[in-house]
Amino acid sequence: MEKSKSLGQGHARNTGIALDWDVIEKLSVNRSAVERRAGSIGGRRSVKKQWQTAWLLKAITTIDLTTLAGDDTVNRVKRLCAKAKQPVRQDVLKQLKAQDLEITTGAVCVYHLFVATAVEALKGSGIPVAAVSTGFPAGLSPLETRIAEIKASVKAGASEIDIVIERHMVLTGDWQGLYDLVALARKSCGDAHLKVILGTGDLGTLTNVAKASMVSMMAGADFIKTSTGKESVNATLPVALVMVRMIRMYLGMTGFKVGFKPAGGISDAKTALLFMMLMKEELGNEWLQPDLFRIGASSLLTDIERQLEHCATGRYAARNYQPLV
């Protein structure tokens, strides 16, 4: 049987619930307390030696290996898919005694135009293709166009859809509008899983981040995601802490497990491990699996490879020895 890393393994998919105004109106975030807690992550635990190797290999399996550049080409996407299937050199894996672990990235994320190319390149690997949709990165194209794009990406073979919300809905408190938008996107995805990008760097306050997270989950999001990677401020630990605590709150309310995806600005192994520590401490080991945790990144894999080679040989290789594409 073909292995699959698709979302939702081992737990019921979030079906969403009715918009609960009482819950939304009561949400409030103490920024100082959040920043203190976020600042303690990394100081509370240390990952060394063989444990560091294990965490770095786990990190690779959670990466949504991404290319969302204006100069993307079919050949670049094919090379990215080849890298997703073999993210670390075999000789390094052999030295780490990890050659039999079948390490791959969690997914490949591309624009709609390249979905079919990625699906074909990844055929038989079990690695899902995620498509960014709904007028990425601003989310302000006509609604019918955005919905048509979701359906077209699913038809082309995408099993995960990353949508962007209209940030003005959050800034003006239009929670019903946001709920309806996400619910419509969820319906349009069919069997594909929905990852909702909040664009947290544009939302103004952590309370807005909390409310947007909760509304998106109530509307049926399978994952909530920090950023497009195009905002001036992308994934940060304080924002991540607020979002994962909303996930925990929603789990307590409904029993549904929703995933989390930090994205944008996570370009080195040290930062990736901090986000993994946050997940372990706040939600437990289950949220370190790729069906509930993803890191949206492009250059991160290069640094993880360098760290793994150091674990294997005691030396750091130059970055050009681990070309991404």
**Active site residue: 5, 195, 211, 225, which one?**
225
- Which residues are within 8 A (CB) of 155 and not within 5 positions of it... i.e. 6 or more apart? none
Which residue among the candidates 195, 211, 257, 261 is catalytic per the annotation?
261
* Sheet with 160-164: strands ordered across: 259-261, 223-225, 193-197, 160-164, 129-133, 107-111, 63-66, 295-297
- Which of 162, 202, 291, 303 does the annotation list as catalytic? 162
**91 noted as active-site residue:** no
Bridge partners, residue 110, by sequence:
131
Could you tell me which residues come within 8 angstroms of residue 31 by beta carbon, excluding any fewer than 6 positions away? Answer: 205, 206, 238
Query: Could you give the CA distance from residue 291 to residue 258 in angstroms, rounded to a whole number?
Result: 9
DSSP 266: -
For residue 30, give every residue at least 6 positions away whose Cβ sits within 8 Å of its Cβ, in sequence order, or none.
none
Active-site residue, 94 included = no
Catalytic (active-site) positions: 162, 225, 261
